Structures are given as structure tokens and as C-alpha cells.
């Protein structure tokens, strides 16, 4: 009987100890339950809870609400421990204001060795590790093979910007809408203008402008002029200014236009947003990189895209960091890669990519010497949205190339 009481009391002490140490971790994300990466987020939570006894609360917010509510949430007592991030300017603002935790001491080098160095670096601020990366992405021209061949286009011949303009003319002449665009959301439009910046100015001019201004330099004005050359051809579908990004993906998936300039997430989105829900078959879809511009000083292999991941708020516990290291791990990333959820950053996981398009993107990024994070994220919320605005105004043909660059420069000066 004595031993029974001894066992019982030890059990009670153990339970009490575990309960006292069990934490509740709040993980704020943007992935709906139908998202291809959601199942493995749940899996990571379940495994982590079983292993540690901690409780993880998954909190979902839609993209725009997330961006609008996060500043307030971070300043409240109800702040999430872990939240999604596109890195860049917004992350720097959060770190400067002291809302992020330096987790350098919690993340061992042995873990960092397992992830891509460039991706890991994207989540540091002044030498402090404030987050962990999850995935990379790239923006490219997606095309409908049937429609392109109907218009007599040989995609392999599109090497320069002028070749693309010729292709647009040819597609239009064949009675096909050349490009699907989601102008209401604006950010899809900014991909075109800013990728031209990358071709015309390269990494050097970007860094120079970032540090010392000069967003109105001739190389960037040239990007606007090139964009206007495209706009003059009226390449977008009717009503494109009222079309959202899902509309853009759906139109492309329905075969209503020959091309779309979009990130690799277009692969899944064109199917889920199409009228049939199936979209274009893999065999009918292709992808090519932004062509080079004549006189451009960038490299034709430079890429535009994202390095997205997770940040730790100022009060995040070590357990929150451990949860992320469990989630961003080889096993889960391999499974997500094989499901085509995203392009993983854990070394060796990209071998599980079975989707040929994602394989191509992973190859492009690894060959790229300069992978520029989306301008509208990297430059922070204010300048980023100005870039989106002027890109759309350029595409609508209501401002000049000079006015577009001046607006960005003014926004940069306003923020100094």
C-alpha cells in the first residue's frame, strides 16, 4: 500500500511539474485549411505537442488582414509567438522597434547547417537571428503551350525584351489575349516593372538606391519606358484593372490568355481558381525567365522572388523556436516538396520535388547569383505599396516612366 501511495504521489508531482512547465504557443499563419502546406503544419503541431506537452494554438488570418492587424497584435499582450514573414523592410522595422526576439542562442549551428545559407541570412537583423526561413519562390513567365503554338510562337527564341514584345504582337494578331493580369491587387503588376529594374540595373544599382536613394535614375526610367512599350500593345485581358490575383490565375487556368507573369505558386493557383478546378494540364504549360533587356547591366540569370519564413515575437519562448525547428525540418520539407506545396530551403529536401516546374524554379534560384526579394516586401510597407501603385499606373498608361520613378524616390525620401 505504501508503495502505491509513493507511485501515486510521484505521478501527481510529475503531472503537476509538467503542467506547470507546459506552455501555450501561438502560431499565426496565412494558410487556409485547403492550402497544400496546412496538413504538415498540423502534423508538426501534433508531433510537437505529444513530444513536449506544450500546447500550440494555430491562428489563421487572411493575407491583407494579417498585414493590417499585425502591428497592433505585436504591441498587445495577445501577441503571437510565431508569425509569418516575407522578410525585408517590414521585418527590419519590427526588429528595430524591439518586437522580435534574438533567438541566436536557441538555434544551434548544427540546425543552421541543414538549411540554405542565403535563406537563413534573410531572417537576421544586425547579426541577430530573429526568424527561420521556410521556402523560396521565383517569378517567371508562365505560358499556355497550345495558345503559343496557335500564335506561332517559339518560346525558346524569347531571349530579349523586344522578343517578348514581338511575341505579344504575334499573339494578339492571332486573336488571343497575350497576358492575364490582376490589376486590382496591384502587386502582380509590380513584378513586371521591378523585374525590368533587375535586368536594367542589377544588384549593384539596387543596393546603391537602397542605401543612398536614386530610385529615379535613368536605368529605372528605362524600365518604365519598356513597360510602356508593352502597355501600348494592350496586352492584358479586358477589365484587368478590376481583376484580382485569383481572377488572373483562374483566367490563365481557363486558357483565356497565353501568358501570365507570376510566382511559382501559379502552378497550384491556376488549377484551383479555374472554372473546372483542374486548370491547364502540365503538358500544356511552360515557363520561361524574364528576358534580358538591351543595355541592361544586370545578369540574365538574376531572379526575383521571395524568401519567406517565420519570425519570433519578443516574448516567444525557447519552445516556440524548437517548434519551428521541428516544423522546418528535412522530413516535413521533403513531404511538402513532394506534394508541390513550396520550394523547400532545408538542404536535400528539394530532391523530393516531383513537379517539373518547381524543380525548374529551384534550379533557377540555385544558379542565380542575385535573388532579389519582392520589392513591395523588401522596401517596407510604405515604399513597397508606392511601387505597386506606380507599376499599376504605368500599366494603365496614366503616368510616365519619369513620374513613376520620381514617386518611388519621393517615398524613399519621406521615409528617411
Contact residues toward other proteins (CB under 8 A) are 64, 67-68, 71-72, 74-75, 90, 93-94, 96-99, 183-184, 186, 238-243, 380-382, 385-386, 389, 392-393, 396, 398, 414-415
| 362 CB neighbour count, 10 Å cutoff | 21
Query: Least distance in Å: CB of 235 to other proteins?
Result: 15
Placement of cell 493575407 in the chain: 63
Nearest-angstrom CA–CA distance, 52 and 102: 22
DSSP letter, residue 349? G
User: Which one, 98 or 295, has the nearer CB to other proteins?
Assistant: 98
Query: Max alpha carbon distance in the chain (Å)?
Result: 93
User: Which one, 236 or 327, has the nearer CB to other proteins?
Assistant: 236
User: Which one, 162 or 410, has the nearer CB to other proteins?
Assistant: 410
Nearest-angstrom CA–CA distance, 405 and 200: 14
User: Which one, 152 or 239, has the nearer CB to other proteins?
Assistant: 239
Query: Least distance in Å: CB of 46 to other proteins?
Result: 34
Nearest-angstrom CA–CA distance, 182 and 161: 21
DSSP letter, residue 329? S
Beta strands in 68-183 (DSSP E): 82-85, 124-125, 128-129, 131-144
Query: Least distance in Å: CB of 386 to other proteins?
Result: 8
Backbone angles phi, psi at 305, to 5 degrees: 180, -150
Q: Mapping DSSP to helix (H, G, I), strand (E, B) and coil, where does residue 169 land? A: helix
Query: Least distance in Å: CB of 51 to other proteins?
Result: 34
User: Which one, 140 or 383, has the nearer CB to other proteins?
Assistant: 383
| 51 CB neighbour count, 10 Å cutoff | 11
Placement of cell 485569383 in the chain: 246
CA 48 to chain centre: 26
CA distances from 158 to 127, 154, 230, 257 (A): 42, 8, 14, 18
User: Which one, 166 or 382, has the nearer CB to other proteins?
Assistant: 382
Element holding 56 (H helix, E strand):
strand 55-60
For 166-184, letters b (16+ CB in 10 Å) and e give ebbebbbeeebbbbbbbbb
User: Which one, 93 or 225, has the nearer CB to other proteins?
Assistant: 93
Query: Least distance in Å: CB of 314 to other proteins?
Result: 11
Nearest-angstrom CA–CA distance, 218 and 220: 5
Query: Least distance in Å: CB of 118 to other proteins?
Result: 27
Query: Least distance in Å: CB of 169 to other proteins?
Result: 22
Query: Least distance in Å: CB of 177 to other proteins?
Result: 12
User: Which one, 54 or 186, has the nearer CB to other proteins?
Assistant: 186
Query: Least distance in Å: CB of 387 to other proteins?
Result: 11
C-alpha cell at 235: 496586352
Query: Least distance in Å: CB of 158 to other proteins?
Result: 28
User: Which one, 162 or 393, has the nearer CB to other proteins?
Assistant: 393
Sign of the torsion angle spanned by Cα atoms 43, 45, 46, 50: positive
Q: Mapping DSSP to helix (H, G, I), strand (E, B) and coil, where does residue 57 land? A: strand
User: Which one, 112 or 241, has the nearer CB to other proteins?
Assistant: 241
Amino acid at each position: 500500500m505504501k508503495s502505491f501511495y509513493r507511485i501515486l504521489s510521484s505521478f501527481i508531482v510529475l503531472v503537476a511539474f509538467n503542467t506547470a512547465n507546459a506552455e501555450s504557443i501561438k502560431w499565426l499563419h496565412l494558410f487556409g485549411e485547403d492550402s497544400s502546406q496546412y496538413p504538415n503544419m498540423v502534423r508538426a503541431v501534433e508531433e510537437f505537442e505529444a513530444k513536449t506537452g506544450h500546447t500550440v494554438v494555430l491562428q489563421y488570418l487572411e493575407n491583407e488582414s494579417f498585414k493590417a492587424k499585425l502591428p497592433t497584435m505585436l504591441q498587445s499582450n495577445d501577441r503571437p509567438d510565431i508569425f509569418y514573414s516575407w522578410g525585408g523592410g517590414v521585418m527590419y522595422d519590427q526588429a528595430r522597434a524591439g518586437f522580435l526576439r534574438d533567438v541566436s542562442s536557441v538555434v544551434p549551428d548544427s540546425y543552421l547547417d541543414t538549411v540554405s545559407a542565403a535563406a537563413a541570412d534573410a531572417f537576421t537583423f544586425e547579426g541577430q537571428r530573429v526568424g527561420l526561413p521556410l521556402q523560396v519562390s521565383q517569378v517567371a513567365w508562365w505560358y499556355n503551350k497550345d495558345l503559343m503554338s496557335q500564335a506561332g510562337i517559339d518560346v525558346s527564341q524569347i531571349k530579349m525584351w523586344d522578343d517578348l514584345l514581338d511575341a505579344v504582337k504575334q499573339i494578339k494578331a492571332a486573336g488571343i489575349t497575350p497576358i492575364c493580369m490582376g490589376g486590382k491587387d496591384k502587386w502582380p503588376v509590380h513584378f513586371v516593372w521591378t523585374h525590368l529594374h533587375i535586368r536594367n540595373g542589377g544588384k549593384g544599382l539596387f543596393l546603391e538606391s537602397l542605401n543612398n536613394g536614386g530610385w529615379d535614375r535613368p536605368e529605372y526610367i528605362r524600365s518604365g519606358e519598356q513597360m510602356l512599350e508593352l502597355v501600348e500593345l494592350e496586352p492584358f485581358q479586358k477589365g484587368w484593372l478590376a481583376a484580382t490575383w485569383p481572377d488572373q490565375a483562374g483566367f490563365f487556368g481557363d486558357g483565356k490568355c497565353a501568358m501570365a507573369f507570376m510566382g511559382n505558386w501559379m502552378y497550384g493557383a491556376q488549377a484551383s481558381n479555374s472554372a473546372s478546378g483542374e486548370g491547364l494540364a502540365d503538358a500544356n504549360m511552360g515557363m520561361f525567365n524574364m528576358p534580358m533587356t538591351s543595355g541592361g547591366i544586370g545578369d540574365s540569370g538574376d531572379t526575383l522572388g521571395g524568401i519567406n519564413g517565420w519570425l519570433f515575437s519578443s516574448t516567444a519562448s525557447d519552445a516556440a523556436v524548437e517548434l519551428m525547428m521541428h516544423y522546418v525540418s528535412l522530413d516535413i520539407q521533403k513531404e511538402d516538396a513532394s506534394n508541390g506545396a513550396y520550394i523547400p530551403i532545408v538542404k536535400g529536401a528539394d530532391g523530393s520535388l516531383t513537379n517539373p516546374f518547381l524543380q525548374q524554379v529551384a534550379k533557377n534560384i540555385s544558379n542565380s547569383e542575385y535573388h532579389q526579394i519582392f520589392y513591395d516586401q523588401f522596401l517596407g510597407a510604405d515604399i513597397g505599396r508606392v511601387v505597386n501603385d506606380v507599376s499599376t499606373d504605368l500599366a494603365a498608361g496614366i503616368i510616365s516612366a519619369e513620374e513613376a520613378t520620381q514617386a518611388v524616390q519621393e517615398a524613399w525620401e519621406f521615409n528617411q
